[in-house]
């Protein structure tokens, strides 16, 4: 039983799981919304919210942290486009909208987007 376990494993090893979250975060930053499974969207939400909070500072340390967590492609977008939109907002930068089941395997789908 997974009592008090914080993260979902998605049937992957640690490095595969972190690469998955990293690629989902990069897609979300570049496209502003993505369609994925409900579990992946719920797992991505706290990851991206912490990065948006860090990017609001706009410091060199924040840039390096974003580059290490998501990649170089997202740094400019996060600091110059996304962070200024939420400068007065304390949290809740993303929303997860449930879409229904996927036809092939009936897994619950969701869309995660910036508010």
pLDDT tens sequence across 47-69: 999 999 999 999 999 999 999 99
Question: Distance between CA 22 and CA 44 in Å, rounded?
Answer: 9
**Domain locations along the chain:** 34-114
Kindly report the CA angle at 91 between 7 and 93, in degrees rounded to 5? 80
Q: What is the mean pLDDT of residues 66-91?
A: 94
- pLDDT value for 7: 87
- pLDDT value for 2: 78
Q: What is the mean pLDDT of residues 68-79?
A: 94
48 with 93: CB under 8 angstroms?
yes
Question: Distance between CA 45 and CA 58 in Å, rounded?
Answer: 21
Tokens of 30: 């570049």
Report the Cα–Cα distance between both ends of the chain, in Å, rounded: 35
pLDDT exceeds 90 at position 1: no
pTM: 0.91
The CATH number assigned to the domain with range 34-114 reads 3.90.1030.10
């Amino acid at each position: 039983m997974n009592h008090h376990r914080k993260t979902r494993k998605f049937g992957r090893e640690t490095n595969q799981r972190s690469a998955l979250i990293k690629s989902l975060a990069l897609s979300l930053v570049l496209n502003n919304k993505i369609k994925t499974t409900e579990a992946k969207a719920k797992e991505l939400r706290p990851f991206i919210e912490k990065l948006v909070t860090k990017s609001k500072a706009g410091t060199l340390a924040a840039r390096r942290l974003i580059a290490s967590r998501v990649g170089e492609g997202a740094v400019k977008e996060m600091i110059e486009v996304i962070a200024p939109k939420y400068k007065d907002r304390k949290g809740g930068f993303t929303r997860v909208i449930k879409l229904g089941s996927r036809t092939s395997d009936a897994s619950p789908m969701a869309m995660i987007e910036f508010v």
